[in-house]
């Protein structure tokens, strides 16, 4: 049973517009959430994270929103750039532990 879900396998966005990637989770013990970006033949790169005590965290072009009651988080990228084209993984961690669980990923394509 998937504890972290990313229901959109792929997303295409025009350069300069907003990209919104979504993630849902089922385990109410998760309290630390992260987004990673992965290019082919490379390991995942950490982008941004959020603790369950917050509902928003912003870092440059990247903003993560957390809705605990809905068990939903999203990553906003504004403005989107062609270099943002990659697979994005949502990850979650229970009780600040070590068992990071990853979603299946969403492939983002930013079109020039």
Partner 1 sequence: DTEVTQTPKHLVMGMTNKKSLKCEQHMGHRAMYWYKQKAKKPPELMFVYSYEKLSINESVPSRFSPECPNSSLLNLHLHALQPEDSALYLCASSQDGNSYNSPLHFGNGTRLTVT
**CA dist., res. 103 & res. 98, Å (int):** 16
Give the SS3 label for residue 22. Answer: strand
E strand intervals along 15-97: 19-25, 30-38, 45-51, 56-59, 62-67, 72-77, 86-94
Work out how close the CB of 52 gets to partner 1 at its nearest, in angstroms, rounded to a whole number: 10
99 is an interface residue for partner 1 by CB under 8 A: yes
69 contributes a contact to partner 1 by CB under 8 A:
no
- Please pick, from the candidates 46, 67, 78, 111, the single residue that binds partner 1 as defined by CB under 8 A: 46
25 strand-pairing partners: 4
# chain residues binding partner 1, by CB under 8 A: 24
- CA distance readout (Å), 47 to 54, 63, 65, 69: 17, 10, 14, 24
CB of 106 to partner 1, least distance (A): 11
Among 19, 44, 80, 85, binds partner 1 (CB under 8 A): 44
- Binding to partner 1, residues 75-94 (CB under 8 A): 89, 91
Q: Site residues (CB under 8 A) for partner 1?
A: 4, 32, 34, 36, 41-46, 49, 51, 89, 91, 96-105
């Amino acid at each position: 049973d998937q504890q972290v879900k990313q229901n959109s396998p792929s997303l295409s966005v025009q350069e300069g517009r907003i990209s919104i990637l979504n993630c849902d989770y089922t385990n109410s013990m998760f309290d630390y959430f992260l987004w990673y970006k992965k290019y082919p033949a490379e390991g995942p790169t950490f982008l941004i994270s959020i603790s369950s005590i917050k509902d928003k965290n912003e870092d440059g072009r990247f903003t993560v929103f957390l809705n605990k009651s809905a068990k939903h988080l999203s990553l906003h990228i504004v403005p989107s750039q062609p270099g943002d084209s990659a697979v994005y993984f949502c990850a979650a961690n229970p009780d600040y532990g070590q068992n990071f669980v990853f979603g299946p990923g969403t492939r983002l394509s930013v079109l020039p």
